Amino acid sequence: MVNISTQSANPPKVFAAIASVMAAVSHVKKTGENKHHRYAFASESDLIIAVRPAMIRAGLILIPTGKEIIEHNSGSKMTHVSVKGKFAFISVEDGSSVVVEVLASAADSQDKYLSKAETQLEKYALVQTFLLPRLMTDPDYESPDNLKAFESWCSSFGGFEAVRGYCYRRGFGDPSEWSTLWREEFMSKVGRGDLAIDIEVEQ
Q: Is residue 202 scored above 60 in pLDDT?
A: no
Q: Is residue 89 scored above 90 in pLDDT?
A: yes
Straight-line distance from the first to the last Cα atom of the chain, in angstroms, rounded to the nearest whole number: 45
What is the span of the domain harbouring residue 187? 142-197
CB 157 within 8 A of CB 199: yes
Does residue 176 fall inside a structural domain?
yes
Integer angstrom CA distances of residue 88 from 26, 66, 104, 142 = 22, 9, 17, 33
The pLDDT, as a whole number, for residue 143 is 55
The pLDDT, as a whole number, for residue 136 is 46
For residue 58, give the DSSP letter. Answer: H
**Residues 158-179 pLDDT 10s:** 888 888 888 877 767 777 767 6
Instruction: Kindly state the average pLDDT of the residues 16-40.
Output: 77
Last residue of a domain, one of 116, 140, 164: 140
- Residue 83 shares a structural domain with residue 162: no
Does residue 192 fall inside a structural domain?
yes
Tell me the pLDDT of the chain averaged across its residues: 80
The pLDDT, as a whole number, for residue 135 is 56
- Residue 125 shares a structural domain with residue 163: no
The pLDDT, as a whole number, for residue 61 is 97
**Residues 102-155 pLDDT 10s:** 888 888 888 888 888 898 899 889 988 998 876 544 444 445 567 788 889 998
